[in-house]
Structure 1
């Protein structure tokens, strides 16, 4: 508990730096929210500093259990801090502000703030920063905690360590040193490229943060339609793929270990799935009664749609882009999500591919009962223990979707809207809920739902980011006694 408190206090101090930056921006622009940001920063740093200084000389290390608990505390605690300046600078109640902070921090999007142009610039910047920070926490959590523990059958840590030529032990600070330079550097590169194609610095930063964190909060109320030319979409497509593929794969590419990188079939699967879904979407928009688009424009919007769905960024190139695809296909795509060790949501492509490999082997065993086939996904071997964990994770995820759908159904106009809302929340792809699936029927905004329904959605969003099995384990008393 001491290590948990120390790391939690350190994370709160980092949040304070972002709050002070927002306060400085509000002061320079003479906006009313400066006092709220400054007061929140001072209260946060006072409480966190007192905890950190009080424990700085006490020796304690994060164990596996306390690491899981730390992730849960961060996913719950940071939105609680972030809600105060949102509450002070918007007409929302505190509960609604907290819900908006959860939507943004988990990179789910699809929140209540549709008219971002009416927001104080400091508040919009705060939301964009919160989204970027959520993507960073997702990556650090996978590299430092969830990956080494092999939660839900994630790729074996020892094998990944061998591929990366480093030790198998990864502390939280080590993971941050591995993740932050690349994540920050990729954000800077994306920002520079967007600025080079004509965007303002603020808009370029916001779009870059959304792409790398696979979030959907954008600096303009009109979304991507406000930055419609092809160069902007091309840069966004490239960096959405970066956000939706494994950061370990990126390290292999940057260190020119291309042979190893080509063996990581999960990431190649993300790219291939994006192309397939993109071509299907383009076919729906090209010279059809719905689209009437030319072939180049249909391909442009279709590929953007495919990448946005597979990486769970869920940014539409224009209004109604997702609705050209069957709803069942969209739900399956976002439920599977992007690659493991990425900021994408979903159960991850690795698990889906491993289940497909196992199913194929079982079918082949019906023909050749005595044949022995190794379970491999590219260069990664899949043990029976990992396979059991993967099927368990899939089963638990499906059960959670069913239970939460049943729980939220009384607050929704139909079962279909309840199912879409839960899958969108647990996959951290909020905008698919409001994509207009039923013609002539508008589903209610999440912010207009009863408080208990918002709480269910918030639980689903955090479960999606934290891995469901971790929360189940933390809630299991026998797990704590070990």
Structure 2
């Protein structure tokens, strides 16, 4: 049981930190003379109290090394327990726990789907809490865990690896250095985004809240109309820039900050990501301009904002793009699966995997044409390890299968096909808005059955941890320590 006690100790420490975080919105509401501050204060007491109880009850456990299997279990446990407690403040809105858990899971996984309406009239405390959920969920939970684990005598690098099934090149030797740089880059970009939003016309509160949900590619807004509330081209282009930053690998920013600026141009997935966004935005803008008879500049802004929002899995919306016709609906549904770069805060399949898939398909075509030909798969001029292509293909298969299973479950609960399949896709991909009148860019998930909300909340966590980290726990072999 020693390994489980270590996991409980870490979860307890994180819950204590989460409880302390709840004091921020409590202070905001207290400053506004809003009685809702008591809800956050009570939630903080319950969460931090539970965390301290778990931590202190396992404090006598001798220092242990976190093995890879424990890292998987700890990662899955953290991303389930933390949203469960993060849901408590939402109960103050008078909603049920299923709605509260959905909102919290959507926040921590940076999905951005919501069941809450009337955002414009809500207290500022609950609005900043929603933003804080996504900002912390972007990279914060893993960073906190890696900071806390060394004090417990537990190696943290395994946890960083377990959160994503991909491999990222280590730009620094020590995990503690990586954590420090990630925190510095993440906070720095958030500050720059806040200042840019404020300079372009947002209030400081809106600027801070939207900066937190832009860099985390989460998409929670302080207004029901999402980013369309501001009706500002300048703000939209600023958001496009920082959403793209959120979709780029954080290690690229670390390398650039350390003087390796050329690494931006040498990283294949970064180039592919930027070229894909530019090409699709331009083609779609021309199509929209011709079809709707509007200026190309306006069409480019509308298209670029919404394409970048969906591809980076941010989920902001300025217009209801489903009104652009069946082709646009199908186009944005396909974009739901793309995602940003590996090592970023975005969800989706990720550009890196598409590059590997393209290499595999290209080799297969050439092998069919010339069976005796031997071709080595390369990524950025480096040979791709033999175990990478099978793992990518396995992930893609599991990704499609998971989306199909969630779709069937939602359909069994009474949802129509468009709502069911788009809800499943947006949950697994952590995008936010789905398609149709109910869960589309102009709607929300409040009218879905409670069971469907719980299923989607679990699907969001499954997608955020990239499937394998959670589903490996269902393998009986996993539990044979």
By the TM > 0.5 criterion, same fold?
Answer: yes
Moved more, 445-454 or 462-471: 445-454
- 1:104-253 pair list within 5 angstroms: 104-137=107-140, 140=143, 144-145=157-158, 148=161, 152=165, 154-155=166-167, 157=168, 160-161=169-170, 164-166=171-173, 170=175, 175-253=178-256
What RMSD, in angstroms, separates the aligned Cα atoms of the two structures? 2.6
Partner of 1:300: 301
Q: Do the aligned partners of 1:405 and 1:419 also contact (CA within 8 Å) in 2?
A: yes
Shift of residue 333, structure 1, vs aligned partner: 2.1
Distance 1:150 1:77 in 2: 15
Q: Is 1:78 aligned with 2:85?
A: no
Q: Do the aligned partners of 2:172 and 2:178 also contact (CA within 8 Å) in 1?
A: no
SS in 2 for 1:342: coil
Partner of 1:367: 369
Partner of 2:56: 53
Q: Do the aligned partners of 2:247 and 2:344 also contact (CA within 8 Å) in 1?
A: yes
Partner of 2:467: 468
Taking a change above 3 Å as real, the CA distance of residues 346 and 9 of structure 1, as seen in their structure-2 partners, is same
Partner of 1:21: 24
Q: Do the aligned partners of 1:151 and 1:389 also contact (CA within 8 Å) in 2?
A: no
Q: Do the aligned partners of 1:281 and 1:305 also contact (CA within 8 Å) in 2?
A: no
Taking a change above 3 Å as real, the CA distance of residues 323 and 114 of structure 1, as seen in their structure-2 partners, is farther
Structure 1: any 5+ residue segments left out of the alignment?
A: none
Taking a change above 3 Å as real, the CA distance of residues 38 and 244 of structure 1, as seen in their structure-2 partners, is same
The structure 1 residue matched to 2:15, chosen from 12, 15, 19, is 12
Q: TM-score when scaled to structure 2?
A: 0.90
**Could you give the per-residue CA deviations for residues 220-244 of structure 1, whole angstroms, max 9, x where no partner exists?**
2222222222221121111101111
**Could you give the per-residue CA deviations for residues 53-104 of structure 1, whole angstroms, max 9, x where no partner exists?**
344453123221222222212221122212221111x131122212221122
SS in 1 for 2:337: helix
Taking a change above 3 Å as real, the CA distance of residues 96 and 74 of structure 1, as seen in their structure-2 partners, is same
Shift of residue 356, structure 1, vs aligned partner: 0.7
Shift of residue 370, structure 1, vs aligned partner: 2.7
Shift of residue 203, structure 1, vs aligned partner: 0.6
SS in 2 for 1:316: coil
Shift of residue 265, structure 1, vs aligned partner: 0.8
Taking a change above 3 Å as real, the CA distance of residues 294 and 396 of structure 1, as seen in their structure-2 partners, is same
**Could you give the per-residue CA deviations for residues 26-71 of structure 1, whole angstroms, max 9, x where no partner exists?**
1111112111111111122222123323444531232212222222
Shift of residue 287, structure 1, vs aligned partner: 4.0
Structure 2: any 5+ residue segments left out of the alignment?
A: 147-155
Q: Do the aligned partners of 2:252 and 2:264 also contact (CA within 8 Å) in 1?
A: yes
Distance 2:87 2:161 in 1: 32
Q: Do the aligned partners of 2:438 and 2:445 also contact (CA within 8 Å) in 1?
A: no
SS in 2 for 1:447: coil
Partner of 1:354: 356
